[in-house]
Chain A
Amino acid sequence: MSDDLVPHLENPEERRAYDQAYGDTGADAGMATIAPDMETDLKTGFETPAEDTALAAGEAGYWSPDAAIIEHKGTWEEVWERFRKDKFAVAGLVVIGILVIVAITAPWIAPHDPTTQYDEGLTMKGMPMGSSAKFWLGTDTLGRDLLSRLMYGARVSLVIGIMANGLALILGVIFGLTAGFFRGATETAIMRVTDVMMAFPIYLLAVALVSVLKPSLWILIFVIGFVYWTPMTRVIHGEVLSIREKEFVAAARLTGCTNVRILYRHILPHLVAPIIVYTSLGIATTVLFEATLSYIGLGVQPPTPSWGQMISDGQNYYLSAPHLVIYPGLCIMITVLAFNLVGDGLRDAFDPQQRRR
């Protein structure tokens, strides 16, 4: 075998000097030599300028760039930094936070019980009243406090929206992973079934299903999740197709990993970003879905309040008591908008090459 292509230096001093001149230095050392005492945004993690220069001089050890352990900034922190810069996304997150708090604490902070029908809630002629000292947003057709009903309605919408989406997510990930990873006949079967499902008008399908089964909370969650798994399957399938061609998957297979281990340890972590993004966007859709079903009477049954149901109840009074329709409608709109903004913001935050709008 021939000699080394670089001189074989016995003396450690010479070796260090050679390494400093030609060695394989890490990315961090480069910045340190340029501006060792500058307060930079790049956060190389060096505590003092003295460490920077010591590093650049290669004094720290034979392996450039360092001997100390430097805390690295994880990807989640970077994502959060980018997310923070999008004001709309942050506003959406705040709104969701408020909604969640209201939904959780509704039994304690609602001014009245949502199912109690008050005599003083109705006018002489039996019409619903506008805002007053006792009923901050007015009352509905049966004299119930609108504000309390809206708060309790938040619970229904959020619970159904999140859990239905969770079910759709689980189904979508399982089908998408299986189809994308194993390919062949399995993939064809799953994706063609998905295509057929997507061709179905999902609202009609949901209506049909709920009519057959009695509409209750769990039935709704199941039905909405069941009709809604197709977009997630598509997305996951596409992502898995691109991930499985990457070299580290071949390397894992060569290392002797079983298929299960490759799926769990190598492919799934790369799916976290699309899953999070499409979950947020999906919750917006499932909340709207539930409101629609409630509007046509197939959602949760009265007296449990639901925003869609409230709109349906109040629609005959839209001229005389428009607040019955406006407030629930606004709630739906704000919720859906907030989840959409957060979903968009997350999508931009996870993709470092995305240009700012």
Chain B
Amino acid sequence: MSGATTHGGGATVAPREADAATATNGDLVTVKDLKVHFPITSGIVFQRKVGAVHAVDGISLIVKRGETLGLVGESGCGKSTTGRAILRLEPLTGGHVLYEGADLARLSGRALRRQRRRMQMIFQDPYASLNSRMTVGDIVGEPLLVHKLCPRREREKRTRDLLELVGINPNTLNRYPHEFSGGQRQRIGIARALAVEPNFIVCDEPISALDVSIRAQIINLLQRLQGEFGLTYLFIAHDLSVVRHISDRVAVMYLGRIVELAENSVLYETPMHPYTQALLSAVPIPDPAVEEMRRPIVLKGDVPSPVDPPSGCHFHTRCPAVQEGLCDVNDPALVEVRPAHWAACHLITPGDFPNIRTAENIGPDLGATALRDEGG
């Protein structure tokens, strides 16, 4: 992770040296009980609050240095809002976000802008996330200018190096974004994020808006950059197979809360929370013979509105294993039910696995044609 890395034509975009103080602790980003509620107001002149959209309703997680944490969930479950709130693009209603132990919520103004060097984001929409009135060179060079990272003469060279790093022809830096394709624009966005040499990057569904044939290239690029620069990713997506490919650990969200968090293969092979099991069982298997014999778990009803989430466990209205009197009254806490495997469900006691599903029911190996034996 230390030293300059050369790439292509001698580019020198150096990774950041780890701070001595935090080198001992592997936690890079800690989120404690994060809440983001968007107020709903009514009234013409004087607006009063009549309700709130509970987009994020008490999330705690830890992103370790150098890992990729995947965050999955349905559309509208609050995963993008979580990513944005961690970067302070959304106002926090409650909770804390700690970066290397320092509370970000207390920062403002210049201190916050300085902190922005460490954490960046890759946006979902490659068309809207680039300013259409700026040239590509300006877009990628702006972070260098704002943070005064290099003298003016050197800025063009650094910009060219960055473009080359992500696979864009450096001679195109005087072009405008609309002259590039979606995949190229996403690369430009990645170059912009890398310009400040961050440690932590939130990837907010970076490939959802791209052609399927391009997605692989972008994922490979992200992985290669992670290897070269020792980056830490929070990878937000709703495509389970992509998250499986790229993540070390995966967290599953439902209606503003995390319901399960585990190592990659552990989550996909032995999910414990009923929602995760239903989610994974919904993924079709390419082999028609296997797919015929499978019976996926179908949840009844629709996702409740985040304006008025259900009491107790948010999932209890659709859960096939719901218990009256317990699940609709108390909020389940996210507990460690197995080593390095957290789940938020009243019915799972640590050490006891009554609901564990096997490979036959849920088809854990997405794309596999053979059934596997029952695992741990």
Residues of chain A touching chain B, judged by Cβ–Cβ distance below 8 Å, are 1-2, 4-6, 22, 24-27, 61, 63, 66-67, 69, 72, 75, 188, 192, 246-248, 250-258, 261, 265-266, 269-270
Whether B216 and A5, one on each chain, are in contact in the complex, defined by CB atoms closer than 8 angstroms, is yes
B305 lies within 8 A of chain A by Cβ: no
**Given A24-B214, A63-B168, A247-B128, A254-B116 contact (CB < 8 Å):** yes
Query: Can you offer 7 A-B residue contacts whose CB atoms are under 8 A?
Result: A6-B217, A6-B220, A24-B181, A69-B171, A248-B128, A251-B129, A257-B146
Knowing that A248-B128, A255-B142 touch, tell me 17 more A-B residue pairs with CB under 8 angstroms: A2-B245, A5-B220, A6-B217, A26-B179, A66-B169, A69-B171, A69-B174, A247-B129, A250-B129, A251-B129, A253-B89, A254-B87, A256-B117, A256-B146, A258-B113, A266-B131, A269-B131
Against A, the Cβ 8 Å flags (1 = close, 0 = not) of B210-228 are 0001101101100100010
Whether A255 and B116, one on each chain, are in contact in the complex, defined by CB atoms closer than 8 angstroms, is yes
Other-chain residue from B45, B125, B131 in contact with A252 (beta carbon distance below 8 A): B131
Whether A4 and B220, one on each chain, are in contact in the complex, defined by CB atoms closer than 8 angstroms, is yes
User: Interface size on B (CB < 8 Å)?
Assistant: 50
**Given A5-B219, A266-B131, A247-B125 contact (CB < 8 Å):** yes
Q: Which residue of B lies closest to A250 (CB)?
A: B89
Q: Which residue of B lies closest to A27 (CB)?
A: B181
Residues of B near A256 (CB, < 8 A) are: 113-114, 116-117, 143, 146-147, 196
Segment 198-244 of B: residues with Cβ below 8 Å from A: 213-214, 216-217, 219-220, 223, 227
Residues of A near B134 (CB, < 8 A) are: 265-266, 269
CA A65 to CA B297, docked complex, whole Å: 46
CA A200 to CA B133, docked complex, whole Å: 38
**Given A69-B171, A254-B120, A255-B196, A1-B227 contact (CB < 8 Å):** yes
Residues of B near A269 (CB, < 8 A) are: 131, 133-134
Closest beta carbon of chain B to A208's beta carbon, Å: 28
Residues of B near A75 (CB, < 8 A) are: 176
**Given A25-B181, A255-B196, A256-B143, A72-B131 contact (CB < 8 Å):** no
Against A, the Cβ 8 Å flags (1 = close, 0 = not) of B149-184 are 000000000000000000111011011100111011
Q: Which residue of A lies closest to B130 (CB)?
A: A248
Closest beta carbon of chain B to A325's beta carbon, Å: 47
CA A289 to CA B216, docked complex, whole Å: 62
B123 lies within 8 A of chain A by Cβ: yes
Whether B169 and A27, one on each chain, are in contact in the complex, defined by CB atoms closer than 8 angstroms, is no
Task: Give the total number of A-B pairs whose CB atoms are below 8 A apart.
Answer: 99
**Given A5-B216, A72-B179, A256-B117, A61-B169 contact (CB < 8 Å):** yes
Residues of A near B113 (CB, < 8 A) are: 256, 258
B121 lies within 8 A of chain A by Cβ: yes
Residues of A near B257 (CB, < 8 A) are: none
Against A, the Cβ 8 Å flags (1 = close, 0 = not) of B97-131 are 00000000000000001101100110111001111
B79 lies within 8 A of chain A by Cβ: no
Whether B175 and A72, one on each chain, are in contact in the complex, defined by CB atoms closer than 8 angstroms, is yes
Whether A24 and B116, one on each chain, are in contact in the complex, defined by CB atoms closer than 8 angstroms, is no
With a 10 A CB-CB cut-off, give which of B131, B143, B147, B246 has the most chain A CB atoms: B131
Closest beta carbon of chain B to A175's beta carbon, Å: 19
Residues of B near A66 (CB, < 8 A) are: 169
Q: Which residue of B lies closest to A269 (CB)?
A: B133
Residues of A near B192 (CB, < 8 A) are: 251, 255
Q: Which residue of A lies closest to B143 (CB)?
A: A255
Other-chain residue from A4, A72, A251, A270 in contact with B176 (beta carbon distance below 8 A): A72
CA A275 to CA B135, docked complex, whole Å: 22
Residues of A near B172 (CB, < 8 A) are: 69
CA A61 to CA B120, docked complex, whole Å: 31
CA A265 to CA B143, docked complex, whole Å: 13
Closest beta carbon of chain B to A70's beta carbon, Å: 8
Residues of B near A270 (CB, < 8 A) are: 133
Closest beta carbon of chain A to B264's beta carbon, Å: 10
CA A264 to CA B171, docked complex, whole Å: 27
Residues of B near A248 (CB, < 8 A) are: 128-132
CA A31 to CA B232, docked complex, whole Å: 40
CA A254 to CA B216, docked complex, whole Å: 26
Other-chain residue from B89, B184, B189, B245 in contact with A5 (beta carbon distance below 8 A): B245
Whether A26 and B168, one on each chain, are in contact in the complex, defined by CB atoms closer than 8 angstroms, is no
CA A188 to CA B45, docked complex, whole Å: 8
CA A72 to CA B174, docked complex, whole Å: 9
Residues of A near B146 (CB, < 8 A) are: 255-257, 261
Closest beta carbon of chain B to A128's beta carbon, Å: 56
Residues of A near B132 (CB, < 8 A) are: 248
Residues of B near A266 (CB, < 8 A) are: 131, 134
**Given A6-B217, A256-B146, A63-B87 contact (CB < 8 Å):** no
Residues of A near B216 (CB, < 8 A) are: 4-6
Whether A26 and B121, one on each chain, are in contact in the complex, defined by CB atoms closer than 8 angstroms, is no
Whether B117 and A27, one on each chain, are in contact in the complex, defined by CB atoms closer than 8 angstroms, is no
Closest beta carbon of chain A to B235's beta carbon, Å: 13
CA A254 to CA B86, docked complex, whole Å: 12
Q: Which residue of A lies closest to B182 (CB)?
A: A24
CA A63 to CA B189, docked complex, whole Å: 17
CA A266 to CA B146, docked complex, whole Å: 13
CA A256 to CA B117, docked complex, whole Å: 8
Residues of A near B180 (CB, < 8 A) are: 26-27
